[in-house]
Amino acid sequence: MSDGRKAVVVGGGIGGLAAAIGLRLAGWSVTVLEREKALGEVGSGLSLAPNALEALDALGVGERVRSVTHPSGATANLRTPDGRYLMRYRPGKDTPVAALHRADLHEVLQSALPPEVVRLDAEVVGVNGAEVHYKGGSLAADLIVGADGVHSALRRQGWPEAPEPPFRHCTVWRGVTEPGSTGPIEGSVTIGRGCYFLIHPLRGDRLYWALGARAEEPSRPSPSEHAVVRERTEDWHDPIPKVLVATRPDHVLRHDIHDLDPLPAYVKGRVALLGDAAHAMAPDLGQGACQAIEDAVELAAAVGGAGDLDAALAGYNARRLPRTHKIQREARRKCDITMSTAGMPYALTTFLLRLTPQSLAQRSARRVWAWDAPEITS
């Protein structure tokens, strides 16, 4: 069991909480430092692919997460703004993803940890050797996990040569409909020129939607983000207008997309990066959170037992770099194509999608999802 080794996880997002659960299973004593005063994200959804569910199983919370998800065939159900189908989801044949409200995922992860593990209102300002300094104190640790998101302070300090996360020329608006306000609606992705509209059904008669659109510059707040989305999609097919009417205007979130150029290493000394801090990626493959949860399992599996910690961290680094780099690059490529407003690439994309057999599209998704969870032992 525990050999008394202590880990400090910086950031209480999906990756940080998953890492805390995994490290505790591996016998570590863990403290999570989170800068916000409350944990959890509200107001938007997420999809988890089979690889993330397998990782959550390895953390012992897979069944509980499944119980708050709804199957969605959105990514296999592709349409154009006038409503025509480019590709159709085949129930029973195609693998759905598991869609859920982010708040539900946070709740499951948080409830798998004793309350004293997470310290809120604890913004980390830097690391000095084995000491983590935060507003309010400092903690000594054998292992420091940087799970502090795309604009990670730990990455900036430890990887000063890494460029700032580039803007992907994409702004995303997201919302969740009021419960019971639309009736059942299937998941879908509607692809326009330089934009898309995603719908995932959620548990509790709700829908999660997202509009992604080309932006030359990072966006500025608008008096009504809801009005911006309605205007941009006003002549798009049903049920998009209905979905927007069913969303509270003050609950629409806006987010600029930044990703990272692949880092040459995720480990320096006793600091290990994971999730968006390590490999923030465009959301186009729906893999950012999935990869953060995989990282958590791989890190916990690597550092379990009483073996040499430096060798264990080198093992984590070696296992995660090739897989996450590949997915990061693929997500960037897909985002760049989707955000192109030029007529020719759009015509070509829709033409090719119409011709692509669903089985081929499924095969390429399965290649991304293919991952075997290592066992976590203490």
Ligand X SMILES: Cc1cc2nc3c(=O)[nH]c(=O)nc-3n(C[C@H](O)[C@H](O)[C@H](O)COP(=O)(O)OP(=O)(O)OC[C@H]3O[C@@H](n4cnc5c(N)ncnc54)[C@H](O)[C@@H]3O)c2cc1C
For residue 101, the 8-state DSSP code is E
Strands (E), 55-205: 70-72, 78-79, 85-87, 97-101, 118-119, 124-128, 131-134, 137-140, 143-146, 167-176, 188-192, 195-202
Residues 81-120 that bind ligand X (CB under 6 A): none
Which 226-255 residues touch ligand X, going by CB under 6 A? 255
Left (φ > 0), alpha (ψ -120 to 50) or beta: where does 359 sit?
alpha
Determine the interface stretch with ligand X among 14-22, 108-116, 320-328, 338-346 (rule: CB under 6 A).
Answer: 14-22
d(CA 372, CA 121): 36
Measured from the CB of residue 151, what is the shortest distance to ligand X in angstroms? 7
In this chain, which stretch among 13-21, 213-221, 300-308, 317-325 interacts with ligand X, using CB under 6 A? Answer: 13-21
What is the residue whose two structure tokens read 């403290």? 31
Complex with ligand X: residue 26 or 39, whichever CB lies closer: 39
- H, E, C per residue of 293-355: HHHHHHHHHHHCCCCCHHHHHHHHHHHHHHHHHHHHHHHHHHHHHHCCCCHHHHHHHHHHHHH
Q: Which of 65, 123, 87 is nearest to 290 (CA)?
A: 65
Query: How many CB atoms neighbour CB 16 within 10 A?
Result: 29
Q: Is 149 in the site for ligand X (CB under 6 A)?
A: yes
In the complex, minimum distance from the CB of residue 48 to ligand X, in angstroms, rounded to a whole number: 6
Shortest distance in whole angstroms from residue 130 CB to ligand X: 17
Stretch that binds ligand X, among 105-113, 262-270, 281-289, 352-360 (CB under 6 A): 281-289
The reply to whether 158 sits near ligand X by the rule CB under 6 A is no
DSSP-based three-state secondary structure for 160: coil
Tokens of 70: 């709804």
288, 315, 328, 365: which one contacts ligand X (CB under 6 A)? 288
Choose, by CB under 6 A, the member of 56, 112, 207, 289 that binds ligand X.
289
Q: State the minimum distance, in angstroms, from the CB of residue 347 to ligand X.
A: 26
Least Cβ distance, residue 123 to ligand X (angstroms): 4
Residue with tokens 């009504």: 224
Residue 333: CB partners within 8 Å, gap ≥ 6? none
Stretch that binds ligand X, among 58-66, 241-249, 280-288, 325-333 (CB under 6 A): 280-288
Minimal distance, residue 52 CB to ligand X, in Å: 6
Examine residue 187 and tell whether it contacts ligand X (CB under 6 A): no
How many residues of this chain bind ligand X (CB under 6 A)?
Answer: 34
Q: Which of 7, 8, 16, 373 binds ligand X (CB under 6 A)?
A: 16
Q: What is the DSSP letter of 284?
A: G
Per-position x/- string for 42-71, each x denoting binding to ligand X as judged by CB under 6 A, each - no binding: ----xx------------------------
> Which residues inside 197-226 make contact with ligand X, applying CB under 6 A?
210
Q: Which of 7, 8, 9, 14 binds ligand X (CB under 6 A)?
A: 14
**What is d(CA 172, CA 192) in angstroms, rounded to the nearest whole number?**
14
- Report the residue from 7, 8, 9, 11 that binds ligand X according to the rule CB under 6 A: 11
Considering only CA atoms, which of 221, 220, 219, 197 is closest in space to residue 210?
A: 197
**In this structure, which amino acid lies at residue 375?**
E
Which listed range, 28-36, 63-71, 214-222, 360-368, lies at the site for ligand X (CB under 6 A)?
Answer: 28-36
Supply the minimum distance, in Å, between the C-beta of residue 216 and ligand X: 19
Structure tokens given for 231: 């205007």
Region near ligand X per CB under 6 A, out of 53-61, 240-248, 283-291, 318-326: 283-291
Beta bridge partners of 271: 144, 268
Q: Which of 61, 118, 144, 147 binds ligand X (CB under 6 A)?
A: 147
Binding site for ligand X (CB under 6 A): 10-16, 33-36, 46-47, 123-124, 147-149, 153, 172, 174, 210, 255, 257, 275-277, 283, 286-290, 292
